[in-house]
Structure 1
Amino acid sequence: MPDRAAPGLTAAEVAERVARGEVNDVPVRSSRSFTEIVRANVFTRFNAIIGVLFLIILVVGPLQDGLFGFVIVANTLIGIVQELRAKKTLDSLAVIGEARPTVRRDGVATEIPTGRIVLGDLIELGPGDKCVVDGEVTEAEGLEIDESLLTGEADPVLKQPGDTVMSGSFVVAGGGAFTATRVGRAAYAAQLAEEASRFTLVASELRSGISRILKYVTWMMVPAAVGLVISQFVVKGNDWREAVRRMVAGIVPMVPEGLVLLTSVAFAIGVIRLGRRQCLVQELPAIEGLARVDVVCLDKTGTLTEGGMDVRELRLLDGHDMTYVGQVLGALGASDPRPNASLQAIIDAYPRPDRAEGDGWRSRDVLPFSSARKYSGATLDSPGGERTTWLLGAPEVLLAEGDPALAQIDELNARGLRVLLLARTETCAESGADALSGDPLGPRAVTAVALVVLEQRLRPDAADTLRYFAEQNVAAKVISGDNAVSVGAVASELGLPGAARALDSRRLPAERTGMATALEGGTVFGRVTPRQKRDMVGALQSHGHTVAMTGDGVNDVLALKDADIGVSMGSGSEATRAVAQIVLLDNSFATLPSVVAEGRRVIGNIERVARLFLVKTVYSVLLAVLVVCFRVEYPFLPRHLTLLSTLTIGVPAFFLALAPNKERARPHFVRRVMRYAVPAGVIAGAATFAAYLLARHYYTGRGALQAETSAATLTLFLIALWVLAIVARPYTWWRIGLVLAMGVGFLIVLATPWLQHFFALRLVGTVMPWAAVGIAAAASAALEWVWRRIAADGDGGDPAS
């Protein structure tokens, strides 16, 4: 890039613009506000229903029948606290991952937060930099900008001084600077940026599934509740307080109030856990989405290998002097103000003398590296006055097929080494403009001068991570712009199955169906262009795969954007971090298994506890219908169902929702949950009502409504405990302990006089209690049979198995 001609704004000019409010003040939201969190957790449809019923119980009494209200308050507070913790984690990580553009002020280039940019600032650009405000190009040196995120057009646009740039676009090649002409909410992409809150709770199959379930529940609740209200007043006659209590007892358990709460808590705790691993989740559903992934597309550089490289060898091809070639490489390195990892390794190996000393080499025309053409170049004036044009890049692209140098290259690539070709090409009379046209199509008329052999640094954790994906039945596809043989050798060294059969993407079918078939059979693909990466993601998705894409360079942006889940390295370009749903701030590929594990924990465990909640909803609705049909008192008081819900659903659900889980998420969440919840709820409701009717007949004339209720409560508790025992599978020591602890808790209530009185439980005699146990045992056998049938069909299963 030429010497900086414009010094940018002065400190006084910046202060003047700040005073006028000409600042890029669009807030970058990384999470919901405190008010939004409280509102989302408190003002829900079901909290409103429970709140009204709680107020009714406070009027008619006694207080122990209103325990469900205190439970809802406690659960809501837990949800708020957990989400606030998640907000704190997200906010702190967002500051770390925030883009910091380079602004020139008083002739000095300084990195500043985007919120401190003012109108008229001179902002420098390099490969991978995102344009954070609108502006006009002031300096350009091969500046190519990708506007696909705004216009949908994938081809980069070559910018010249005077051209406009829009916020949201990013640099793919070259460098330059532009003057900010629109900042803050006036910028082109400002509204999109402001609305795209990183803490989103949408586009999630889990949440949309729960919404559908709650819609079904509402449809069932309304008629059942209306019928229950009428029947209880008719049956109880003048005792309206008892009728109200029984009516409330029938409605409260129909509400799966904790299901939404536990989903929010599970997501929030997932954010906190991943935050501790320096993983920024920019969209919450990404945790869930990565758990559904069955194909991970990996970019080799920055993912399997570390960003840095080392020059291992320089092989001369045409008898040039080693010193001369080293000087050419040094001059090429100095001509690029934003070198990539390969060029940086060359600069480290062949440093150019300081400008003050002078080495006689001068660069005139520069062609920055582009992943589309896969080479860079420059026209150089040597100390002797000779003008030559040099290209540095992929040998397969620069050389014609059959060139003798390619044999050496294949041998080096097979050892996992990366090879760049230094070549000389024709120069026109005054400049190298024609030779540096940047045509990305096929070999050029070049003279091969030397092979630069680079050694890549493997990530120490890459092999273990690839092994984890293989064990979890997640297919890993290495998609790289490097030579296919070289990439295959690296992948083979890391133990990736099928890596030895690396494919050159230039031979892949262009149409989607053929490409998808080739991708299914292959593991490693080399010489992939940015457009091909995007096409590969689409081809895999067309075959029903859920695709995650990892990357850190601008050539990965289009694929990251189209993938189901985009994962960017923290050291990656601003453009990749902007479009990715997950950013690994510590650049550790080994963090991905933790993200997958969190997603699987959330989905599998929410599916598990959803069964608990919805079994309760189904048997509650059925009991209400049966009570209306048989015109009897509702079997329970609110306190009884609060006790049962706490011991068989509330407490266990919190433990089960936060347990580890390794099974990949499957589609059709609602169908799988309801397929067990409906028959199980029907069995539980019918068995409980049968025990209640039997108890009423047995205790006829004894005035023992409390005994009838107690028998029904015992029956329902034992059935619900067996549902818990089924849902808790596969068993571990703590899951067995959890089920046993809930059973012991109920026994303590039955054995403690003051708790008996508090919960209005009194088992009278031995015949009816044992009959209740027998009915519960028969119902549990039926529950077990239903579960095994569903598991055998492959639509149930154990979420954590």
Structure 2
Amino acid sequence: MTTSGLTDTEVAQRIAEGKTNDVPSRAARSVSEIIRANVFTRINAILGVLLIIVLATGSLINGLFGLLIIANSGIGIIQEIRAKQTLDKLAIVGQAKPTVRRASATKELSPSEVVLDDIIELGPGDQIVVDGDLLEEANLEVDESLLTGEADPIAKDVGDKVMSGSFVVAGSGAYRATKVGREAYAAKLAEEASKFTLVKSELRSGINKILQFITYLLVPAGLLIIYTQLFTTDVGWRDSVLRMVGALVPMVPEGLVLMTSLAFAVGVVRLGRRQCLVQELPAIEGLARVDVVCADKTGTLTENGMRVSDLHALGTQAHVHEALASLAADDPRPNASMAAIAEAFGAQAPAPPWQATAVAPFKSATKWSGTSYGEHGNWVIGAPDVLLDSQSSAAEQAEQIGAKGLRVLMLGTSDRSVDAPDAPGQVTPVALVILEQKVRPDARETLEYFAEQKVSVKVISGDNAVSVGAVADSLGLHGHTMDARQLPTDNGALADVLAECTTFGRVRPDQKRAMVHALQSRGHTVAMTGDGVNDVLALKDADIGVAMGAGSPASRAVAQIVLLDNKFATLPYVVGEGRRVIGNIERVSNLFLTKTVYSVLLALLVGLAGLASKIFGTDPLLYPFQPIHVTIAAWFTIGIPAFVLSLAPNNERAQSGFVRRVMTAALPSGIVVGLTTFASYLLAYGGRDSTAEQQTQASTAALITLLVGALWVLATVARPYQWWRVGLVLFSALAYVVIFALPWAREKFMLDPGNVALTSVAVGLGVLAAVVIEVLWWVQGRVLGEQRRLWR
């Protein structure tokens, strides 16, 4: 008996009472939360306090670094809102839509439109979106592994409870929603799992480690420079404060976190334009690190749709067409194979229709389905190598056809009811149904891309191993093929087999997950692609799960990336976007950390010199720069170049060891720039009795040395060169030439390169720093085992 659904009046009443499924489809931040998160940051707070201190001196020009607060906040807000809008639009397309039965109609609705007491229909692959009580069932089996960790499907009977977060693996049914919204069992779990986060990101965790290291340097250096500039220089509070702020501002890596978030957000928007929904942000980075891709054949290498290409009778049994038509008509949720059979034989259904007395739905674990029709017999359809003796002539014929890359199903009769405990029992073959799948036109190109990038591809399918191997071979993916029924259960032995074989057929869902675990145990970063309910466990446990948009709601729910256009060929773009993010953030990190290192070193050296003056009575040492000096230094050696480099194309393969590589590059370069700048300042500094003009000339000399060294750091970070990278470095250098050449700029920015001797020495020390940095760049390549190139 079919239970009727709610009337429109009852639905409206429940909506008015707030009995709706109000859990958001994505737990993304609201616009107001994005604004608060980008404005009220620790870095903005530090810069804001320093800005107030500078403005208190009356020197507005020295407060220009306050524009960093606006830039950091504005860019972060704009890009994150853009990413949010892209994700929200795509999430609506990609979300699971339950089939809701109401008095007015039965139709698919978004999860948020479900209300208390709604009747929700279930079929294979459907995700259970709210908690409820089962009202109808036909061989219904539910997988609750995402909630309990237990992978075995659970048979459900009328009256049993079903929980949100689980999914249907076999059979059909309907249930009444008893808990909706935040009361549902998995609501909090689902909300937390769908957050747009940066967890498990080597890039983000590496940057956090670097920031911790910087904090340890900032505290002593900052305290030292504050003390020496305020209490040892005797130049008045105004100059002391400006010099102190000039030392503190460049120590803060103000753009590092911003550029990281910016690169990720732009990546999300770019992939969104290709109909790629990134459900977890680290997936962009993670896929760039993948070295093994496990791909399902159906829906990935081949298109979802099938058609019946031939029917081979295996005997004189009558009613073949009627049996196929009946089996297709009695399947409430036909898969692609049964849909093709319905299209081919649906018009030949018997009249009157055969009455089903027992039904066995298709399961990925058993590879067959069937229906008992009383006097018309017990009919089964499924994999020939599962239902038949492998030595039989019918099985051999099926194997020969499958070797051509075709899918073969065997139609047969059984000696017992299909719902018997020992079904299917003795099966008599009646006919072979031959199905044709179209290979995706972009599949070969995609596989060739992964081969060029040294990414192994393993084809893991539930289909016949010979058929899967033939499809893979036709796409140029050569290697050994294995029937998964012969796979070892030991994890180590399984990993050995995976290293030798490329294609696997007749793989059960639990074996897919075991294969992912075995590959991970050998240190591989594994991506799993799939579209069916049989792929869910493997998608969930892989490092990166990639689902097709046309796949089952359950597979889309657990995947980190959903290809809404159903194109396997989109994966290379995701890999490329991840490599752009990782490679460019590494470059940008080198720039920001080099600045922090030389700023901290300079502050320590000036501070120690100030302490020495206090102890030994020598001339105190003013910090060489005012805030305006470090502001213009950052404009063209870091700020603009970092922004350009963070968004530039980058196809270099991602490598592990982000922190080690960045610190290996930034520490030596920063030390060289800091030491040469300090030496330049010492040579130019005239002591306590210096005039204001002489002090400005000394500061200018130190700045020239710093700029030459910092520009050469940019020149090495931009490698390997392309025309636009060379143009970026030249633009930065010319910008400083213009600043020093224009009289009004020299006046506004407190520069005086008029002392030819001091300026010549400063340039010479800057060139020395550049030479040392160049040598270090080549040496670092040897140490890290990287081949360094000047040109791409």
- Pairwise TM-score range, normalised by the shorter structure: over 0.9
Shift of 1:363: 2.0
Worse-superposed segment, 16-25 or 266-275: 16-25
Q: 2:334 aligns with which of 331, 339, 355?
A: 339
Deviations 1:515-537 (A, max 9, x none): 11111122111110000000000
CA distance in 2, matches of 1:796, 1:262: 25
CA distance in 2, matches of 1:483, 1:320: 25
1:160 aligns with 157
Q: Say if 2:317 is the partner of 1:327.
A: no
Worse-superposed segment, 155-164 or 779-788: 779-788
1:792 aligns with 782
Worse-superposed segment, 93-102 or 725-734: 93-102
Deviations 1:117-155 (A, max 9, x none): 122111100001011111111111111110000111000
2:719 aligns with 729
Q: Say if 2:626 is the partner of 1:637.
A: yes
**8 Å CA contact 1:676, 1:796 repeated in 2:** no
Map 1:88-99 onto structure 2 (within 5 A). 88-99=85-96
Q: 1:513 aligns with which of 477, 489, 492?
A: 492
Paired AA for residue 419 in structure 2 = A
Q: 1:492 aligns with which of 463, 466, 473?
A: 473
Shift of 1:764: 2.4
Worse-superposed segment, 89-98 or 547-556: 89-98
**8 Å CA contact 2:306, 2:436 repeated in 1:** yes
Map 1:524-535 onto structure 2 (within 5 A). 524-535=503-514
CA gap 1:307/1:518 in 2 versus in 1, 3 angstroms = same
CA distance in 1, matches of 2:46, 2:627: 14
Identity level (%): 57
Shift of 1:13: 2.3
1:460 aligns with 441
Deviations 1:277-317 (A, max 9, x none): 11111111111111111111101111111111111111111
2:614 aligns with none
**8 Å CA contact 2:326, 2:353 repeated in 1:** no
Shift of 1:72: 2.6
Q: Could you say what the CA RMSD is over the residues aligned between the two structures, in angstroms?
A: 1.8
Paired AA for residue 330 in structure 1 = A
Deviations 1:681-724 (A, max 9, x none): 11110011111111226998675111111111111101000000
Q: Say if 2:743 is the partner of 1:753.
A: yes
Deviations 1:25-63 (A, max 9, x none): 222225211122112212221111111001111111311
CA distance in 2, matches of 1:5, 1:182: 21
Map 1:383-532 onto structure 2 (within 5 A). 386-427=375-416, 431-434=417-420, 437=422, 444-498=425-479, 501-532=480-511
Paired AA for residue 757 in structure 1 = E
Worse-superposed segment, 408-417 or 218-227: 408-417
**8 Å CA contact 1:140, 1:175 repeated in 2:** yes
Worse-superposed segment, 36-45 or 791-800: 791-800
Paired AA for residue 578 in structure 2 = G
CA distance in 2, matches of 1:138, 1:172: 18
CA distance in 2, matches of 1:504, 1:700: 88
**8 Å CA contact 2:778, 2:788 repeated in 1:** no
**8 Å CA contact 1:209, 1:670 repeated in 2:** yes
CA distance in 2, matches of 1:690, 1:247: 19
CA distance in 1, matches of 2:198, 2:560: 13
Secondary structure of 1:173's counterpart equals strand
CA distance in 2, matches of 1:437, 1:775: 87
Shift of 1:359: 4.0
Worse-superposed segment, 78-87 or 184-193: 184-193
2:131 aligns with 134
Q: Say if 2:597 is the partner of 1:618.
A: yes
CA distance in 1, matches of 2:161, 2:52: 62
CA distance in 1, matches of 2:2, 2:73: 60
Shift of 1:628: 1.3
CA distance in 2, matches of 1:798, 1:47: 37
Secondary structure of 2:195's counterpart equals coil
Secondary structure of 1:138's counterpart equals strand
Deviations 1:329-368 (A, max 9, x none): 11111111111111111111111457xx934422221111
**8 Å CA contact 2:360, 2:419 repeated in 1:** no
Deviations 1:198-235 (A, max 9, x none): 31132211111111111111111011011101111234
Deviations 1:725-784 (A, max 9, x none): 000001001000000000000000011000011111111233222222221222112112
Q: 1:366 aligns with which of 356, 359, 365?
A: 359
Map 1:249-260 onto structure 2 (within 5 A). 249-260=246-257
1:292 aligns with 289
CA gap 1:770/1:709 in 2 versus in 1, 3 angstroms = same
Secondary structure of 2:763's counterpart equals helix
CA distance in 2, matches of 1:438, 1:691: 89
**8 Å CA contact 1:533, 1:559 repeated in 2:** yes
Worse-superposed segment, 586-595 or 232-241: 232-241
Map 1:598-613 onto structure 2 (within 5 A). 598-613=577-592
Secondary structure of 1:376's counterpart equals strand
Worse-superposed segment, 614-623 or 778-787: 778-787
Q: Say if 2:6 is the partner of 1:33.
A: no
Deviations 1:489-536 (A, max 9, x none): 1111111232xx211111111110111111112211111000000000
Map 1:671-710 onto structure 2 (within 5 A). 671-696=660-685, 704-710=694-700
1:578 aligns with 557
Secondary structure of 1:257's counterpart equals coil
Map 1:768-787 onto structure 2 (within 5 A). 768-787=758-777
CA distance in 2, matches of 1:146, 1:740: 61
Secondary structure of 2:317's counterpart equals coil
CA distance in 2, matches of 1:707, 1:13: 82
CA distance in 2, matches of 1:574, 1:391: 27
Shift of 1:263: 0.7
**8 Å CA contact 1:24, 1:114 repeated in 2:** yes
**8 Å CA contact 2:21, 2:180 repeated in 1:** yes
CA distance in 2, matches of 1:367, 1:183: 32
Map 1:163-242 onto structure 2 (within 5 A). 163-242=160-239
CA distance in 2, matches of 1:539, 1:365: 40
**8 Å CA contact 2:322, 2:348 repeated in 1:** no
Shift of 1:107: 6.7
Shift of 1:401: 2.7
Shift of 1:196: 3.2
Q: Say if 2:345 is the partner of 1:350.
A: yes
CA distance in 2, matches of 1:31, 1:11: 31
Shift of 1:98: 1.9
Give TM-score, length-normalised by structure 1: 0.95
Worse-superposed segment, 695-704 or 588-597: 695-704
Map 1:45-124 onto structure 2 (within 5 A). 45-106=42-103, 108-124=105-121
**8 Å CA contact 2:304, 2:336 repeated in 1:** yes
CA gap 1:36/1:701 in 2 versus in 1, 3 angstroms = closer
Map 1:7-26 onto structure 2 (within 5 A). 7-26=4-23
Paired AA for residue 747 in structure 1 = V
Q: 1:146 aligns with which of 131, 143, 150?
A: 143
- How many equivalent residue pairs? 780
Shift of 1:438: 5.6
Paired AA for residue 368 in structure 1 = P
**8 Å CA contact 1:146, 1:157 repeated in 2:** yes
CA distance in 2, matches of 1:396, 1:735: 59
Secondary structure of 1:523's counterpart equals strand
**8 Å CA contact 1:310, 1:454 repeated in 2:** yes
